[in-house]
Amino acid sequence: MTYDTIILGAGAAGLMCAAHCVGRVLVIDHAKAPGEKIRISGGGRCNFTNMYAGSGNFLSQNPHFCKSALARYTQWDFIEMVGRHDIAWHEKTLGQLFCDGSSKQIIQMLLDEIERAGAELWVRTEMKDLRKTDTGFALTVEREGQRHALTCTNLVLATGGKSIPKMGATGLAYDIAHQFGLRMTETRAALVPFTFSDGRFKDLSGVSLPTRLSNDRTSFDEALLFTHRGLSGPAALQLSSYWREGEAIRVNLIQDMPLFDLLRDQRQNSGRKALTTELSRQLPARLVDFLSQHIPMQGNLADQSDTALSDLVEALSNWHLTPSGTEGYRTAEVTLGGIDTDDLSSKTMEARDVPGLYAIGEAVDVTGWLGGYNFQWAWSSGHAAGTAI
């Protein structure tokens, strides 16, 4: 069978690409259903984009690469598509847009779009062999126990990254990129919880509070969640993308709270109150109890000198921790790194030296922050390749 375009991967980027391609198009996926990550995303409501998405929200060895695709298919274009399909949505926080109903609506929208474009979709299909021909590519695939020989002029790599192998993530796009001589940047699990091998936070498991989490490169003001195994929540996931093994991270538990003034006033008004009791009005009581085992907090407010209060504020706003590692690809929301953008056109996503080969979505070395940015990259890069083909 001969196609103009074969797209490997029926995830966010692959489906978006198929919706914009002309000609005879086939989308292939080894999973039993398309868009499985869309289905589970955003707690089942899919954080499908971010109102503030811009190139500054993405990590890549070449921070300029994503600009062209993001500018030519913006969050507003996707919101328009969502509106056209009568999908109700809301902003949760920080520009993050979610479906009011279910993430399945986004999958159905993309399936309707590819049907309108006339593309075929084969799920439960494994790629067995791939080679270059004079006019394009020849593939052998296996579907329902039957082998099929396929040829195409354009081949789009949209099989995503390595995160969550249990959901069908494989390194296929990387292997094919390697086969055709495209370079790779180092890949790492990102948007992933930090672990501490000594289980030091197990008594705090479930405690969550707004924090500023930072390292020498960046900082995020978001919620931090203590878990049995370490630190999670948006702040930890965000910082994990900027973290390297062995590095310390800094936790500011009080952000911009004027804690020193607050404690000094309370010392004046309620000096006989225990310091920990007053602190528990500002921070979760379990956290104060935990911290009191590590930071001096004995006595009443009246016992505290200005220096003691200022030392306490410093300790709470600059808590240094060194994670042992992260949960890795098992739970990571994305893979940092991937197919080197130097080998791709930022306008079309086509490989510079392999005409007809395209790479889009998470497989490429463009990784978004938490908050709808990764899907926006999938939509924008899928659109860039689809309209170029």
Count of residues of this chain found to bind ligand FDA when the rule CB under 6 A is applied: 37
Q: How far apart are CA 147 and CA 143, in angstroms?
A: 6
Q: Going residue by residue from 92 to 131, which x/- string records binding to ligand FDA, judged by CB under 6 A?
A: -----------------------------------x----
Q: Does 137 bind ligand FDA (CB under 6 A)?
A: no
* Region of 142-150, 155-163, 180-188, 242-250 interacting with ligand FDA (CB under 6 A): 155-163
Q: Does 20 bind ligand FDA (CB under 6 A)?
A: no
Q: Does 214 bind ligand FDA (CB under 6 A)?
A: no
Nearest to 211 by CA among 257, 261, 243: 257
Three-state DSSP state, 11: coil
Nearest to 156 by CA among 119, 187, 196, 192: 119
Q: How far apart are CA 387 and CA 345, in angstroms?
A: 14
CB atoms within 10 A of CB 131: 9
Q: Does 365 bind ligand FDA (CB under 6 A)?
A: no
- Give whichever of 201 and 375 is closer to ligand FDA, judged by the CB atom: 375
In DSSP terms, 189 is beta-bridged to: 335
Cα separation values, 164 from 34, 37, 123, 274, Å: 16, 9, 19, 47
* Region of 114-122, 195-203, 312-320, 372-380 interacting with ligand FDA (CB under 6 A): 372-380
- 358 alpha carbon, distance to own chain's centre: 22
- Give whichever of 243 and 373 is closer to ligand FDA, judged by the CB atom: 373
Q: Does 227 bind ligand FDA (CB under 6 A)?
A: no
- 233 alpha carbon, distance to own chain's centre: 13
Task: Name the one residue in this structure whose structure tokens are 């979760």.
Answer: 284
- Give whichever of 4 and 327 is closer to ligand FDA, judged by the CB atom: 327
Q: Among residues 1, 40, 149, 285, which is the contact residue for ligand FDA, using CB under 6 A?
A: 40
Q: Among residues 57, 238, 374, 380, which is the contact residue for ligand FDA, using CB under 6 A?
A: 374
Residue 165 is encoded by which pair of tokens?
A: 């192998």
Q: How far apart are CA 311 and CA 190, in angstroms?
A: 34
Q: Does 237 bind ligand FDA (CB under 6 A)?
A: no
| CB 180, min distance to ligand FDA, A | 16
Contacts of 47 (CB under 8 A, 6+ apart): 41, 92, 96, 97, 98, 371, 372, 375
| CB 371, min distance to ligand FDA, A | 7
* Region of 218-226, 251-259, 276-284, 356-364 interacting with ligand FDA (CB under 6 A): 356-364
Q: Where on the chain is the footprint of ligand FDA (CB under 6 A)?
A: 8-14, 29-31, 36-37, 40-42, 46-47, 127, 158-160, 163-164, 168-170, 172, 333-334, 361-363, 372-375, 378
